[in-house]
Structure 1
């Protein structure tokens, strides 16, 4: 049976989805940090840069968003005709975020607004008819004829797989519903002052909807808001939703933290004793398949194919789980047979079939590397979970300060009902410095907290050493500091309303 955990209680909200006891999806959102892709904003053009064939649009985020000219209605409807002013400085534009801000770069936006449903996708600002790649030539031709009789000059449409057998009347009705949703966006624009958010989307809802169709299982969440989200997202009666009453953090209660720690490991073992190695570079992700302990019981070609098929399935799971994007190269065990390569590529496509993010299995190179491209949607697991290690000047990575910050918040929240009025926490040098810079932001949940700089063992960069009375813990910390020669100490008092 499948399981969903939705931690929807604190500043860091987390979603985990398990199938057959294995973690397939992990999604994190932090208050004020996005993701923004899919959101629609009323923006203001702040700068037009003809040399870049682009403009920069203020949508209310820290950095102005990048808008290529080809992503504007005037460009598309004029056929890219030279001399046309595709956008003007100071102009207000309805734009959709297609890529989140990255590092020093702002978001990338499009003024071609998409309104989608499970059947159709309506695009305002350009004119075309496209069908699902599963449509044959005859079906595609039929839909081009049908759609052209209904579309306006500034409308494009994509007919999805499940709608290929629909009638012209059903198409007209579905198109009318999408137009009504677009008109709703336009009405909202008249009620707000740019730059402002017009329509946001909830990525949690999208993921849960996708992974619960045709399946059954149990959902656990720790807030009433989480219950509402799950009830909205799940249409099947085969899923049971439970609000946890435990005082422990949700993922800890379900013993799921160990699965989260494995997500950033370089090595992933396969069930037959073979293993995968993950390497992350600035330009791409490289995954190496090794036979490891697996020697097989059959002749060499069959042994290689069995291992590569198993590896393809696991690579697909890891790509989704780790949210890898861009160019992904998989170095499978060498295969000389074209039919074997085809089977492995098909297995990879099947493994990525549940992915919400668009990915393409391009094929094998002459050197036998399988090429995959995957759209960038939000940070990957390394960006979310890890920081560059200050001890090795960035050549290694450690558990991220932000990850530990939110984990400490969850631990403090879970201890708010303890009778003891004081906590003693040890934090390693880097995390202690991080906390020192954010001590005014920390919620101690009604407790007085002492945080001491000290060596910490285990998977986290802090440890809750003890609880008790203030005087008792002060004395114990003083003795420990004298014995270990540590001096750094933060005293966090109970915040007064």
Structure 2
């Protein structure tokens, strides 16, 4: 698969488009003043304990207190509390050695929040979900620092290898390497990208993450809650970190600083890929040049058209998202069941793309075209699962129910991408109604009568082309223009302007200056 990353830097922030085989599949927007992004670490102050929810509200500097549930505390919550207090009060120039840190006993899974966070202490937390609508950020105490090949988790000594690495020998090899190079008091999760990598590459990645943890420890020294302790990498580098592979063959940037940062990052993590980064400096906007603007406008409406003539209707509610599949004019034969299957398979591919593109989360209900054969329903389920496989968000796809509905759940990490592709009608101002032609004609004549009464001469009326045709049509003495001439004793010129909306009209004097009414 051919993957491209197009990065558009603007004063208000950075837009990042991911293309797969020239087709837009992900669109990210990083605001210039972005804060509280997933992965950021904060020193928070516990403000309120809610035993009924078994949760706490924590002040991290956001306008609304962040939410921390007991299940997100981490088994090593007591160790994290101890570490936080020790790091804040540490006075030594070099900081204490984390390898000598004494880990506290784990908390039980069925415990109570007020047993762990009694006294409302300061605690190091990580943003689990960005603020959405009226909700503050969702927090976690299960601190994790992701790298290109490994993820480190403090306060434990566990080594785990990604299940997506299927070879038992490769998993065992990676396990042995990481166990040999792992520092004390750190757990390590080996990512799928580590498959086939040697000890030196893994050690370099691990060392960089340990250095990041030491930075966190240094930033905590003397910190006062609420305070940001460490920012997640920029969206650009985090996407490259998670996605960069042999299929990634081009990164195009229109900002010199981001270009240098991106090139340096790739040079560090994958030197053989450094040449894929290029700087864009042509006159045309970068998103227009690569056809992204057109794809955005076509993909974010309520109705999404498919190449065959079928189309999707996407509706959003507070509780869930609903997608309706319609066959339109599509027909691949006289067999209704076959038509339904073909349309549904095409829709499944587009739906999986739409979920990634709009970043829809929560419950998604899809009303596919009804099919009778169980084999066809199974084929559709398998196709949907295959189309969803590249999606990095956690998701689950359920079989089609007896009502013909497929339910999908997808991890919600941030607010959905919502681009308004509609404009308020300039004629009706969004009401769906305009003045009838007769009423408009009466209004024009009323204004005309007023102007002539006040001694205005050589008047010119400018209207929409359709209205121009209506007022001037017919032979002499029959058109409205001639009737006005005989009624008021003077000729009224009528011009058309294609930029006017249907009910818009203006009068101009002999100097071509508009007369304000």
TM-score with structure 1 length normalisation?
0.67
Among candidates 342, 359, 366, match of residue 306 of structure 1: 342
* CA deviation string 1:435-478 (max 9, x = no partner): xxxxxxxxxxxxxxxxxxxx9999xxxxxxxxxxxxxxxxxxx9
Structure 2 distance, partners of 1:149, 1:254, is: 47
Uncovered stretches (5+) of structure 1, i.e. residues with no partner: 397-454, 459-477, 486-497
Which residue is 2:142 aligned to?
112
Which residue is 2:443 aligned to?
none
Contact 2:58/2:68 (<8 A) preserved: yes
Q: Secondary structure at the match of 1:225?
A: helix
Identify which range, 160-169 or 287-296, moves more after superposition.
Answer: 160-169
* CA deviation string 1:17-73 (max 9, x = no partner): 333332222111223344611111122222233333222222222222111123223
Which residue is 2:468 aligned to?
none
Contact 1:46/1:89 (<8 A) preserved: no
Q: Secondary structure at the match of 2:398?
A: strand
Structure 2 distance, partners of 1:394, 1:136, is: 56
Which residue is 1:200 aligned to?
231
C-alpha change, 1:284 and 1:126, in structure 2 (3 Å) is farther
Contact 1:47/1:57 (<8 A) preserved: yes
Structure 1 distance, partners of 2:140, 2:247, is: 35
1:239 aligns with 2:276: yes
1:372 aligns with 2:404: no
Structure 2 distance, partners of 1:354, 1:23, is: 14
Deviation (angstroms), 1:170: 9.9
Structure 1 distance, partners of 2:114, 2:156, is: 16
Q: Secondary structure at the match of 1:309?
A: helix
1:187 aligns with 2:195: no
Deviation (angstroms), 1:86: 1.2
Which residue is 2:354 aligned to?
318
Q: Secondary structure at the match of 2:301?
A: coil
Which residue is 1:281 aligned to?
317
CA RMSD in angstroms, aligned pairs only: 4.4
Which residue is 2:329 aligned to?
293
Deviation (angstroms), 1:328: 1.0
Structure 2 distance, partners of 1:292, 1:78, is: 57
Which residue is 2:245 aligned to?
213
Which residue is 1:413 aligned to?
none
Which residue is 2:107 aligned to?
78
Among candidates 114, 121, 124, match of residue 94 of structure 1: 124
Q: Secondary structure at the match of 2:116?
A: coil
* CA deviation string 1:295-321 (max 9, x = no partner): 113744433322222211111111111
Structure 1 distance, partners of 2:66, 2:123, is: 12
Identify which range, 140-149 or 121-130, moves more after superposition.
Answer: 140-149
Q: Secondary structure at the match of 1:52?
A: coil
C-alpha change, 1:318 and 1:281, in structure 2 (3 Å) is same
TM-score with structure 2 length normalisation?
0.65
Structure 2 distance, partners of 1:193, 1:22, is: 47
Deviation (angstroms), 1:97: 0.2
C-alpha change, 1:143 and 1:311, in structure 2 (3 Å) is same
* CA deviation string 1:337-370 (max 9, x = no partner): 4443333233223323333322222333332322
C-alpha change, 1:230 and 1:337, in structure 2 (3 Å) is farther
Uncovered stretches (5+) of structure 2, i.e. residues with no partner: 79-104, 433-497, 502-510
Structure number with greater CO (CA < 8 Å, separation at least 6) is 2
1:13 aligns with 2:50: no
C-alpha change, 1:292 and 1:390, in structure 2 (3 Å) is closer
Which one has the largest radius of gyration? 2
Deviation (angstroms), 1:271: 2.0
